[in-house]
Structure 1
């Protein structure tokens, strides 16, 4: 299996450990989405070579007045930040980008810290998450230009999916549902149409999925109940499988949709419209 096709893991239990197939590589992006538990005292994200810790990220909540983010490496030096982007009870997206010189760490789409390699990254072969956290998704992808640049998240939102879709590709959308939304539309487009149109319709209290080809909409798939709540934060992950899309909402599998347009590599645009304020997009 090619590295960029290592399949993502949805809703794993914590503690969570997985081998990294083929090891790390320059340009590899590790994406972790989840929610910090309301009573969290700490959680950690680790990269290992055997029993050697190559990277140890810790979020600590020792008391309400002293929330700490600790980036450390065993047998190396320790870096600490006393402001954490991981708030108790809140959804988050953590990303670790592997480069030749360092790990570049971002949270919710914003750069957070950088850590130079003390253990050769090519020898890293295992990933682990532990502590008071729920996981929605863990994904490994070779994907430059994945993250929407700061200031580009206004709705309507449109971005290029570099290289098109492929089996194992995950698109992540995080945002806040507006208090009085009408509809939200998430579309995966190609040059001549829409391969997958995903539309929560609050006016009808249903979610509609469809495809637009040759100037004609196909038969719509409609389902209840509505997995989105007005005024609430939400995290949507769209997984491109071999035969269908799988849509996860806040970590729960909500919908599937069989591929009607099968030339996945030609699907190269993500389009988002309607009643959502975006905070993070990975396409």
Structure 2
């Protein structure tokens, strides 16, 4: 997964989508709607000019009750018919928006939940630019080419996937799923041949997330500070971002935990493992 390197993003923001769009590619946008916002938008467009065609315009608006989202397409300087839905993102709240390209449509996912499907009006291979404007702060924009989406994924737990080439600064992994209603715990491990570089372990009976490292069959000191962002019975979207000195963990668009690296070199971290009381919707490695 590739990420655009600009933190914080200056709004309005325009960036190129390296390699354009293909079937299965997804774009993840995390941020926060400003309190008192009237509107903001995320566009996937064909070029960066002011007259560019806009393949999909995603426009949450807060000027009415309830708040709503307008989705539309602009071709040859003209807007098409709007599609409207109630907004799943309140003003002042954090969010994670994932736009996935399929053959016939864009699938929109907000905070781990399916939001809507928007059929293509412009061929997606013409899209090469993302732009964001309005009353919003953006903390992360990432692109993922190979989507591992298996409808029967939950029956495949424990989930295990190779990380091609290992990790490096800028690598991201995004996991979407739903916690079981009676969950006790689950964990996500980033592993190497002789141990676990990152063990990320939400424990519902203790209302905490334990982070740790295992080397030579020995666990290190647990880190338990910070909030518990997961809820029993609720969907979630989490991103693990590998940086030079630490892992940053973002859950439902909110920066939750930093974990300083205890293992190097990063490129030896070659396996993702997920196990416990959850069902998986998608895993982006």
Normalized against structure 2, the TM-score is what? Answer: 0.70
Match of 1:18 among 13, 22, 37: 13
Q: Check conservation: 2:242, 2:248, Cα contact below 8 A.
A: yes
Q: Distance in 2 between matches of 1:94 and 1:270?
A: 21
Matched, 1:127 2:131: yes
Q: Does 1:151 align with 2:148?
A: no
Query: Aligned in 2, Cα 1:256/1:68: closer, same or farther, shift over 3 Å?
Result: closer
Q: Say whether the 8 Å CA contact 1:160–1:270 is kept in structure 2.
A: yes
What's the counterpart of residue 5 of structure 2?
A: 7
Equivalent in the alignment of 1:30 = 27
**Correspondences of 1:76-91 after superposition (within 5 Å):** 82=83, 87=88
Aligned equivalents of 1:77, 1:88: Cα separation in 2: 27
Any conservation in 2 of the 1:68–1:80 contact (CA below 8 Å)? no
User: What is the Cα deviation at residue 194 of structure 1?
Assistant: 1.9
- Please give the per-residue CA displacement for 1:5-43, whole angstroms capped at 9, x wherever unaligned: 532657x69xx432426x642357531246889x99975
Aligned to 2:211, the other structure's residue is in SS state strand
Question: For 1:81 and 1:164, how far apart are their aligned partners in 2?
Answer: 43
Unaligned runs of 5+ in 1: none
TM superposition score normalised by structure 1: 0.70
CA contact (8 A) 1:153 1:280 kept: no
Separation in 2 of the partners of 1:247 and 1:180?
A: 24
How big is the alpha-carbon RMSD for the aligned residues of Structure 1 and Structure 2? Answer: 4.2
The CA deviation string for residues 96-140 of structure 1, in whole angstroms up to 9 with x for no partner, is 55x9xx996332387753353599645x4x621446xx6675323
Q: For residue 221 of structure 1, report the CA deviation from its aligned partner.
A: 2.5
Q: Is the deviation greater in 80-89 or in 237-246?
A: 80-89
1:54 aligns with 2:60: no
Aligned-pair CA distance for 1:237:
2.0
Distance 2:277 2:173 in 1: 19
Seen in structure 2, the aligned counterparts of structure 1 residues 244 and 63 have a Cα distance that, compared at 3 Å, is closer
Shift of the 233–52 alpha-carbon distance from structure 1 to 2, 3 Å rule, reads: same
- Contact kept? 1:59, 1:84, Cα under 8 Å: no
CA contact (8 A) 2:202 2:208 kept: yes
Deviation at 1:146, TM superposition (A): 3.6
| Conserved 8 A contact 1:208-1:220 | no
CA distance in 2, matches of 1:150, 1:79: 33
Residue aligning to 2:198: 196
On the 8 A contact 1:227/1:249 being kept in 2, the answer is no
The gaps in structure 2 that reach 5 residues or longer are none
Q: CA 1:120–1:235 in 2, change beyond 3 Å: closer, same or farther?
A: closer
Query: How many pairs were matched up?
Result: 268
